[in-house]
Structure 1
Amino acid sequence: MVGWVLGKLKWLTILCAVGGPIVALACWQDGTRRRDVMAMGVQAEATIESATRIKRRRSGTNYKLDLSWTDASGLKRRVEEVSISHALADKLIVDNRLAADTLPIKYMPGEAGSPKESENVVVLDDTAYQEQTDRELVYVGTGAGALGLIGAALFFLPRRRRHEAVAA
C-alpha cells in the first residue's frame, strides 16, 4: 500500500513540475493580453446576443457570451464565446433569462472576423475578477512547479544503496 502511494506521488511531482509552470505562463500571458487591451483598446457598448452555460462533471460550470457591436467606422462586429466569471453571470442571468441587453467592453481595433478576435475583447464589468484569478493562478502554478521540482528531485535522485556482503 505504501509503495503504491509513493509510486503515485512520484508521478504527481512530475506532473506538478511540468504543469505548474505551464499554468503560470498561460495565466501570465492572459493577464498581459488583458492589460494591453485595457491600455490600447477602444471602448464600446456590446449587445449580448446569447449566453451559454456549459456544465461539465470535473471542471464545473463555465459561462460564455456571444457579443456584437458597431465600431467607430460603422462596421458591425461579432464575437462568440467570450468567457465571463460566475459573479458576472449571476448578475446577467436571472431565472434563466438575460437581465441586461448590453455590456461595456474594450476591444482591439484589428481585422473584423479574425479567428482570435474573442481573445481581444475584455468585458469591463468582469476585468477585476479576471485579473485577480490570473494573478492567483500565476502564484499557484509557480508554487506547484517549485514543489514538483523539489519532490521529483527527492524521489528520482540516485540513492546510495548498502551492498550486502556476499559469502564467498
Structure 2
Amino acid sequence: MTIDDCEAVAAVRVRGWQSAYTGLMPQAHLDAMDIAEDAERRRGFFAEGNEVVNVVAERAGLGVIGWAAYGPYRENGRRLARGELYAIYVLPERTGTGVGRALMAEVLARAAAAGHPDLALWVLKENASARRFYARAGFRPDGAEEPFEMDGMPVPEVRYVRSLGGPAAR
C-alpha cells in the first residue's frame, strides 16, 4: 500500500463495514461512515510510520479491491511478539472471488517472515460468515472474549488465533 491508495482503501473499508456488519451494528453508525473522512484518517496513520503493515489487492482495470492490515499484538498498551490481524476487507462485489484468501495468504506469509509465532484477530461474535472465513484459514477461537459496544449496542468480540510455526508457537 502507498499513501496514494488511502482513498481506495477507505472505500474498501467503509463499504466492507456497511456490507459485513448490517444487522450486527447500529445501522445509523454504518450509514454515517464517510469515505473521505476515513481516507484522511488512513493518510494520518500512514504518515505516522508505525509498525502496521498494510497490504492491498488490486485487479487490472479495477484498482484496489481489498485491503488487510496487521502488526504486533496489542495488549494493555504493550506490543507482544504475537502478531495481530487488525483488518481484512474486500469490496462487497468481490466477496467470494478469492481476493480475501489471497490477502490472508500474503498476511500469513509476511507475519511468519517477520518472526511472529502466531497471529491473532478479533471478530464479532455474531459474524458467522467472517468466523467461517477465519476457520477455513486455520484460525481457531481460543476462548477469549471482549465486550464491545457501538453506539450503545452490544457487539461482543471473540479472539481467534493461528500458529505461524515459529519457535515460540511450539
State the TM-score, normalizing by the size of structure 1. Answer: 0.23
Kindly name which structure, 1 or 2, has the bigger radius of gyration based on alpha carbons. Answer: 1
The answer to which structure has the higher helix fraction is 1
The answer to which structure has the higher strand fraction is 2
State the TM-score, normalizing by the size of structure 2. Answer: 0.23
